Amino acid sequence: MITATGLTVAATGVILLLAGVWIDSPELVILGFACVMALLVAAAWLLARPRLTVLREINPGRVEEGAVVHGVLTVTNVGRRRSTPLLAVETVADHRVTVPLPSLAVGENFETVYSLPPFRRGRYVIPPVTLDHSDPLRLLHSGRTSGREALLSVYPRVHHIDPLPLGGPRDVEGPTSASSPQDGVAFHSLRVYQPGDDWRRIHWKSTARTGELMVRHNVIPNEPRHVVILDTSAKPYSGSSFEEAVRVAASLCVAAEKVGHPLVCGTTADLDVAEGEAAALDLLSGVRCSTSDRGLLALDAMLGAIVPAGERVALSIVTGQADPGELASLAVLRSQFLAVSLVHIGQVDVEALPGVVTIGARTSTEFEARWNQLVRS
């Protein structure tokens, strides 16, 4: 492919040749042929394309928005002759990063680390690296892709907030179930001894009564789950308020996981939910608001699908400037949950609902201050 410099040389050569013939000037004809020869030499140079293998890694593959991301490029000359200097071109989300590669002897490796520009929240598919091969005068160049695609997840920024208070310290002898994790300190039931059970857990009175070795089945108590729902309908948001709401939802998820509460995160867009901090941040890294999303009107159906009846659950809802009519159901839902918190992003003066912890803030940073002040008071 011819470059801008190459076009200039080609045009100059044509003009010189025509002018030399027109005015019968051998000097101009020679200069014109020199331009043509430069292009022919550049074309021959490109034919000697080096054979290189490229291994590209993006480190880390998951980052918080605004964090520095590095690319690690390892290039090996697998050809039969020394390679010419090249340029490796990395293109990510309309950003172009050029990495110079030196001439490599046969079998020689070259490794370099380069910085990528900060990214906004989202999921990015980074295409393979392009190796740009050109002649020394940059008259012609050719590019070919090498390596594999890479994935980059950019999480929303997380603020340091206190976890939602759920009515006191965790109870080591709290509610249990047969599906609770084993080897805790809470007694759930007696069961028949199995090979490998701790002999210290044998319940001798029951063993004497039944004639079989019976052991205490201890489990980890069921802890209340924290369900975080993000309103992804477009109506309540304006400007950058949706991005601020995503950061609030991510902060609530991290705070719940930090104190060991089982976490479920979902959006009003569909019934897909993520369990655990890592899955929740993955979900939130790719969410978008939509005009077809029903928003909080879909809350009843969604909670009915993900929250079994009778389960101990704390509920947090993050929205924008929601319609008061869409919030009417929250007062009814309050009796089904240990605690309900409602966060409005984009407005400060909000009407509190009975039994619902309600916070209004313009930004996620303002939410952090208001939330921590409320929880610690």
Contact between residue 364 and residue 251 where contact means Cβ atoms under 8 Å apart: yes
pLDDT at 246: 94
Q: In this structure, what token pair is assigned to residue 369?
A: 């201050």
Which pTM was predicted? 0.71
Q: What are residue 290's DSSP bridge partners?
A: 233
Residues of the chain by 3-state class (helix, strand, coil), percent to 5? 30, 30, 35
What pLDDT was estimated at residue 309? 65
- Kindly report the number of other CB atoms within 10 A of residue 90's CB atom: 21
**69, amino acid identity:** V
Report the side by side order of strands in the sheet with 225-230: 273-275, 263-267, 225-230, 313-319, 339-345, 357-361
Write the CB contacts of 302 (distance below 8 Å, at least 6 apart in sequence). Answer: 229, 266, 268, 271
Helix or strand (DSSP H, E) at 117: none
Going by C-alpha positions, the residue among 70, 72, 61 that lies closest to residue 109 is 72
User: In CATH, which superfamily holds the domain spanning 225-376?
Assistant: von Willebrand factor, type A domain (3.40.50.410)
What pLDDT is stored for residue 324 in this prediction?
A: 75
Angle 282-288-291 from CA coordinates, rounded to 5°? 150
Count of beta carbons in the 10 Å neighbourhood of residue 94: 6
Q: How far is CA 173 from CA 200, 204, 217, 337, in A?
A: 19, 22, 13, 21
How far apart (Å, rounded) are the C-alpha atoms in residues 39 and 108? 30
Reduced to 3 states (helix: H, G, I; strand: E, B; else coil), residue 27 is helix
Give, for all 377 residues of the chain, the pLDDT tens digit.
777 887 888 888 888 888 888 888 888 888 888 888 888 887 877 777 788 888 888 888 888 888 888 889 999 998 888 888 888 888 877 778 888 888 889 889 999 998 888 888 988 888 888 887 677 777 776 767 777 888 888 999 999 998 876 544 444 444 444 444 444 444 446 778 888 777 777 877 778 878 888 887 665 455 678 889 999 988 889 888 999 999 999 999 999 888 777 888 988 887 668 888 888 999 999 889 888 888 888 787 777 777 776 667 888 999 988 777 777 777 677 777 888 888 999 888 877 777 788 889 999 999 999 999 888 77
CATH 2.60.40.10 matches 52-155: yes
CA dihedral 156, 124, 85, 4 (to 10 degrees): -110
- 288 token code pair: 């978008």
Return the beta strands (E) in 193-345 as ranges.
214-219, 225-230, 263-267, 273-275, 313-319, 339-345
